[in-house]
Chains A and B, each alone.
Chain A
């Protein structure tokens, strides 16, 4: 295996790609922190960078610990007392900017699930005669969404029951705090999708380079050339994917933790989107994202090893790998075909976006079994990986 590692690390293109990948993370860390801005009412000025994140954290702590009905009623009542169009610049200056994140959280919570943008004025129209009914409203919103008529197909009764049960079992009330640092960290984990290009570059030549150089003919005549060597290549490639992506995460999480700590890691994911029906903390979701990106990375690596062994061309394999990652980003969602949409959700660039995935209420029904989106991602990528794994040896030995 040591020689297989050597082959990966001694290829100049691989090393350049690896370094560029980590440089990208470094740039993202710098850019996320430097772009952070906090409006300080006392000095009537914007504070930027690390200090902005600290100020935001202090503000969130001062607002509330827990999203209670009483707090919500009080907050929305205060917002309504201004009697302003919440889309106006004046409302932004007077209400939204001082409240910060909590305003967007509340406004999004009262926005219809089919809307792509936050309806700020939903808060103005809210009847507070019986209080904010925050959690009750959350469930009504989810039920309304599940009962909608969609042009590409509706939820079955079983699916509705499944999702309602899941949403009802979400731990409430939600804890409140600043999620900015962890949201930045999640973005950094999502940069892992771009690191998949490094995976593509480094794995595309694993088998094909042996053909391109002619060494395959020698290797295949050795005692272990048709079995152990192939497994070594596969093992090293998979370990490379896991190691490289973990390295990227350690770099981003380590740097963030070193600079800011990891405040907000134990807050619930519902602070991203209150309708999310999973009992996870933001920290767990970040780890989950990493796990899914890693699974996708391993699958892509195995598929490319198969292609590398069969096509015997590093370039062709590289093109296939890049296409697997880039092309689906341009596939539109259909207004007619639910099937296509369900397939489209499974392509790497969408599947890796766990933050979005969790609030989408996408499920796959097979007979009486309902598989949630995250579960389906795991199943599909695992099945593809196993198939590729079984094919690699056959393809490499046969391609001779």
Chain B
């Protein structure tokens, strides 16, 4: 399965949010790193079919995703950034609601919801109303709903926001596992998340990929550009700072 981005562009009046991005994604975990306004969320929304593409196209298995419509969305799992939950729904009701929109059979949806809520540590809270949940619990619920239809393409926008360190580690392991047989795209400000689990990393700035590759590729690139010796301890955070602190971009805490 190949998800191809072919010169994908998003333009809002005079501002280009995503600028002619091209890449091919296969099974694995892809990390998107970039400062606020770099175009990460816009790109993810275009991949999910909820932001119109100004030019270029996104294809899955050779077919344009807009043409695929419901067939494409059937393969998709999406966790939006800061999305609203229904405060008066219980966790289980919320899962079943999303499951019904994903077209899952009710008995399967129930079983799958229980399994996933257990997986994200909400088994004991499945009958509780969402309004009683902490930010981290809501985030875990969001992750669980994204997995309901066993998606082949999983798009996670800031998935670890609000999670405590223990939850984050558990979540990273889960994503690494999921990436074995599907395309997982995750965007984050938290460099260590990407560093640990992403098979391929995209650095985004002003709507473009300014660097991409495996962690090893990026290390080589960093050493080459900065002229630092092999002896220097490299981590992705250094690379991130190297790219983003130099520019005029607003820099969010890493």
Which of A7, A10, A215 is within 8 Å of B83, CB to CB? A215
- Asked whether any CB of chain B lies closer than 8 Å to the CB of A137, the reply is no
- Asked whether any CB of chain A lies closer than 8 Å to the CB of B27, the reply is no
Given A213-B85, A400-B50: A226 and B69 interface contact (C-beta under 8 Å)? yes
Please, which residues of chain A bring their CB within 8 A of the CB of B73? Answer: 221-223, 225-226
Q: Which A207-243 residues sit within 8 Å CB-CB of chain B?
A: 210, 212-215, 217-229
* Contact segment of B2-10, B94-102, B187-195: B94-102
Q: Which B62-119 residues sit within 8 Å CB-CB of chain A?
A: 69-70, 73-74, 76, 78-80, 82-86, 88-89, 93, 96-98, 100-103
Which of A6, A212, A225 is within 8 Å of B84, CB to CB? A212
**Considering residues B78, B101, B145, which has the most beta carbons from chain A within 10 angstroms of its beta carbon?**
B101
Please, which residues of chain B bring their CB within 8 A of the CB of A228? Answer: 101
Given A219-B101, A223-B103, A224-B101: A214 and B80 interface contact (C-beta under 8 Å)? yes
Given A223-B102, A227-B70: A218 and B149 interface contact (C-beta under 8 Å)? no
Please, which residues of chain A bring their CB within 8 A of the CB of B101? Answer: 219, 222-225, 228-229
Please, which residues of chain B bring their CB within 8 A of the CB of A330? Answer: none
CA gap between A65 and B79 in the complex, in Å: 73
- Asked whether any CB of chain A lies closer than 8 Å to the CB of B213, the reply is no
Count: A-B pairs, CB below 8 Å: 75
Task: Say yes or no: A214 contacts B83, CB within 8 Å.
Answer: yes
CA gap between A59 and B100 in the complex, in Å: 62
CA gap between A210 and B85 in the complex, in Å: 9
Task: Say yes or no: A213 contacts B84, CB within 8 Å.
Answer: yes
Least CB distance from B248 to A in Å reads 29
Please, which residue of chain A has its CB at the minimum distance from the CB of B79?
A218
Please, which residues of chain A bring their CB within 8 A of the CB of B52? Answer: 400
Please, which residues of chain B bring their CB within 8 A of the CB of A229? Answer: 101
Interface residues on B, range: 20 to 34
- Asked whether any CB of chain A lies closer than 8 Å to the CB of B51, the reply is yes
Which of A212, A217, A223, A226 is within 8 Å of B80, CB to CB? A217
Please, which residues of chain B bring their CB within 8 A of the CB of A7? Answer: 86
Please, which residues of chain B bring their CB within 8 A of the CB of A220? Answer: 48-50
Given A221-B49, A223-B70: A215 and B84 interface contact (C-beta under 8 Å)? yes
Please, which residue of chain A has its CB at the minimum distance from the CB of B142?
A218
Least CB distance from A169 to B in Å reads 54
- Asked whether any CB of chain A lies closer than 8 Å to the CB of B45, the reply is yes
CA gap between A210 and B103 in the complex, in Å: 19
Please, which residue of chain A has its CB at the minimum distance from the CB of B145?
A218
Which of A10, A217, A225 is within 8 Å of B88, CB to CB? A10
Task: Say yes or no: A400 contacts B84, CB within 8 Å.
Answer: no
CA gap between A217 and B52 in the complex, in Å: 13
**Considering residues A215, A222, A225, which has the most beta carbons from chain B within 10 angstroms of its beta carbon?**
A222
CA gap between A295 and B149 in the complex, in Å: 40
Q: Which A349-377 residues sit within 8 Å CB-CB of chain B?
A: none
Task: Say yes or no: B85 contacts A3, CB within 8 Å.
Answer: no
Task: Say yes or no: A3 contacts B93, CB within 8 Å.
Answer: yes
Least CB distance from A79 to B in Å reads 65
CA gap between A226 and B52 in the complex, in Å: 14
CA gap between A223 and B79 in the complex, in Å: 15
Please, which residues of chain B bring their CB within 8 A of the CB of A214? Answer: 80, 82-84
Task: Say yes or no: B102 contacts A222, CB within 8 Å.
Answer: yes
Q: Can you list, as one digit per residue, whether each of A15-26 has a CB less than 8 Å from chain B (1) or not (0)?
A: 000000000000
Task: Say yes or no: B70 contacts A213, CB within 8 Å.
Answer: no
Which of B48, B86, B103 is within 8 Å of A221, CB to CB? B48
Task: Say yes or no: B83 contacts A218, CB within 8 Å.
Answer: yes
Please, which residues of chain A bring their CB within 8 A of the CB of B76? Answer: 221
Task: Say yes or no: B74 contacts A223, CB within 8 Å.
Answer: yes
Please, which residue of chain A has its CB at the minimum distance from the CB of B51?
A400
Task: Say yes or no: B50 contacts A221, CB within 8 Å.
Answer: yes
Least CB distance from B143 to A in Å reads 12
Q: Can you list, as one digit per residue, whether each of B17-53 has a CB less than 8 Å from chain A (1) or not (0)?
A: 0000000000000000000000000000100111110
CA gap between A224 and B97 in the complex, in Å: 11
Task: Say yes or no: B100 contacts A213, CB within 8 Å.
Answer: no
Task: Say yes or no: B86 contacts A218, CB within 8 Å.
Answer: no
Please, which residue of chain B has its CB at the minimum distance from the CB of A228?
B101
Task: Say yes or no: A217 contacts B45, CB within 8 Å.
Answer: yes
CA gap between A226 and B74 in the complex, in Å: 12
Which of B51, B89, B103 is within 8 Å of A6, CB to CB? B89
Task: Say yes or no: A218 contacts B74, CB within 8 Å.
Answer: no
Least CB distance from B6 to A in Å reads 21
CA gap between A171 and B45 in the complex, in Å: 66
Task: Say yes or no: A223 contacts B86, CB within 8 Å.
Answer: no
**Considering residues B48, B79, B89, B100, which has the most beta carbons from chain A within 10 angstroms of its beta carbon?**
B100
Please, which residues of chain A bring their CB within 8 A of the CB of B86? Answer: 7, 10, 213, 215
CA gap between A376 and B173 in the complex, in Å: 66
Please, which residues of chain B bring their CB within 8 A of the CB of A226? Answer: 69-70, 73
CA gap between A227 and B76 in the complex, in Å: 16
Task: Say yes or no: B100 contacts A3, CB within 8 Å.
Answer: yes
Least CB distance from A76 to B in Å reads 66
Please, which residues of chain A bring their CB within 8 A of the CB of B69? Answer: 226
Please, which residues of chain B bring their CB within 8 A of the CB of A227? Answer: 70
B positions within 8 Å CB-CB of A: 45, 48-52, 69-70, 73-74, 76, 78-80, 82-86, 88-89, 93, 96-98, 100-103, 145, 149
List 19 interface pairs A-B (beta carbons < 8 Å), by A numbering: A3-B89, A6-B88, A210-B84, A212-B84, A213-B85, A214-B82, A214-B83, A215-B84, A217-B45, A218-B80, A220-B49, A220-B50, A222-B73, A223-B102, A224-B100, A224-B103, A225-B73, A226-B70, A400-B52
Sort A-B residue pairs by CB-CB distance and give the 6 closest, nearest first. A213-B84, A222-B101, A10-B88, A214-B83, A221-B78, A217-B80
A positions within 8 Å CB-CB of B: 3, 6-7, 10, 210, 212-215, 217-229, 400
18 new A-B contacts at CB < 8 Å, known A215-B85, A223-B70: A3-B96, A6-B89, A10-B86, A210-B84, A214-B82, A215-B84, A215-B86, A217-B83, A218-B78, A221-B49, A221-B76, A222-B98, A223-B74, A223-B149, A224-B100, A225-B101, A226-B70, A227-B70
